[in-house]
Amino acid sequence: MPSNGQRLTPLEMLAKLVSFDTESTKSNLALIAFVEAYLTSWNVPYVRVPNEAGDKAALFATIGPQNKGGIVLSGHTDVVPVAGQPWTSDPFVLRVENGRAYGRGAVDMKAFDALALALVPEFLAADLKTPIHIMLSYDEETTCLGVVDTIRRFGHDLPLPKAVIVGEPTMLEVVDAHKSVVTFTTTVHGLEAHSSKPYLGASAVMTAAEMIAELNRIADEMMERGDASGRFDPPYTTVHVGVVSGGTARNIISKSCSFHWEFRGLPSQDPSEIPERLDTFAREVALKRLNRFGEFGRIETKPHAHVPGLAPQSGSFAETLALRLAGKNRTQTVPFGTEAGHYQSAGIPTVVCGPGSIDQAHQADEYITLDQLEAGAAFMRRLAAACAAS
């Protein structure tokens, strides 16, 4: 085993990772360069997978045999913004106090990344028979697409993994299912006119209101359908409009109105159903009303992020392994989206299991408890023992 490698405790590694401001709107290359230097000091091979713009990159490293697939420990490097949040200390300087480690990304999810990296010397010393892969991605907090280019290489110039553990914070509960997250922007284009003569124009705002009302009706129907599995909270596919903007003045018929909306679908939800239903309503109802005085307007809906859901695969290798490592006897679900669905869509058994609570994520003074950090280290040490045995 190399003797010149840099040794950092999980807490020291977490402090280092938190020190990089990797908000999703910014580059993560400084963090990736640090990780590459660290892995190089241990003679651990890795592959950098840059995005198209070249300002961000994923990283895939392998400890153990290089000629076969193993267990992927998958974490993202990007974090949500800190602007406007009332932090009591610098969010990019790890603060340890009262059994907690505070910092942006401390729980979501640089703690998991830090554990995987800090334990590299122990993974090397274990003489693994099954490799452990470390996957670090980008843009999870925005599109969840930062893993996709790497996944496409599995089975080609990168080994096809046997299983993936996505380390989002679950208090080390093993999660086998979560909802999809699919987001859109709908824009109504109308025609301005004086509000006293509505027949001279086409109101984008009032048409958008009809479209939003239709989404409300769809949301009610999804609620009535419910969740046949009985495992999700809330127990149905949700539909939500978060932002509406449009119009110029009270007495001007509006020429433009847009709204941002999403649905979070049960794993069984057909991802095309809701946008197709809204498109049908737009074409058959809303557009006819918009243009009842003339061919003045149009409606367009553009998709943005599509985070696939994670469907349960009872008895899969990933589930069986993670339950054994976590000392659990049953799986859970979570209401938030992760990168796990992308791995599963590529045919790789995948679960979500990581230290800390999602309740502490995305807020001022984000933290992970030191107890959970230690429990996460124990989980990974048991993984190393399992991979050394077979």
C-alpha 54/C-alpha 342 separation (Å) is: 22
Residues near 128 by Cβ (< 8 Å), separated by ≥ 6? 63, 64, 65, 70, 384, 387, 388
Residues of the chain with CATH 3.30.70.360: 181-307
Mean pLDDT of the chain: 97
C-alpha 340/C-alpha 73 separation (Å) is: 11
CA distance readout (Å), 291 to 200, 214, 288, 301: 11, 18, 5, 18
Give the pLDDT of residue 23. 98
Q: Say which CATH topology domain 181-307 has.
A: Alpha-Beta Plaits (3.30.70)
Give the pLDDT of residue 52. 96
Residue with tokens 């009872």: 314
C-alpha 16/C-alpha 110 separation (Å) is: 10
Instruction: Find the mean pLDDT for residues 182-203.
Output: 97
Instruction: Find the mean pLDDT for residues 43-55.
Output: 98
Give the pLDDT of residue 2. 46
Answer yes or no: 140 catalytic: yes
Of 23, 108, 139, 140, which is the active-site residue?
140
Per-residue pLDDT band for 390 (boundaries 50, 70, 90) equals: confident
Q: What is the pLDDT of residues 308-317, one digit of tens each?
A: 999 999 999 9
Q: What is the pLDDT of residues 155-166, one digit of tens each?
A: 999 999 999 999
Give the pLDDT of residue 3. 52
Q: What is the pLDDT of residues 255-279, one digit of tens each?
A: 999 999 999 999 999 999 999 999 9
Instruction: Find the mean pLDDT for residues 106-135.
Output: 98
Per-residue pLDDT band for 370 (boundaries 50, 70, 90) equals: very high
Q: Is residue 1 predicted with pLDDT exceeding 90? A: no
Instruction: Find the mean pLDDT for residues 186-213.
Output: 98
Instruction: Find the mean pLDDT for residues 129-148.
Output: 97
Q: Nearest to residue 304, comparing CAs of 121, 196, 182?
A: 182
**Predicted structure pTM score:** 0.92
Give the pLDDT of residue 260. 98
Are 71 and 321 a contacting pair, CB within 8 Å? yes
Q: Is residue 110 predicted with pLDDT exceeding 70? A: yes
| HEC assignment per residue over 1-64 | CCCCCCCCCHHHHHHHHHCCCCECCCCCHHHHHHHHHHHHHCCCCEEEEECCCCCCEEEEEEEC
Residue 89 is classified by DSSP as S
C-alpha 175/C-alpha 271 separation (Å) is: 21
Q: Is residue 254 predicted with pLDDT exceeding 90? A: yes
Instruction: Find the mean pLDDT for residues 336-357.
Output: 97
Answer yes or no: 262 catalytic: no
Residues of the chain with CATH 3.40.630.10: 10-178+310-389
Is cis: bond before 121, omega within 30 of 0? no
Query: Which CATH number is correct for 10-178+310-389, 2.40.160.40, 3.40.630.10, 3.40.47.10, 3.40.50.150?
Result: 3.40.630.10
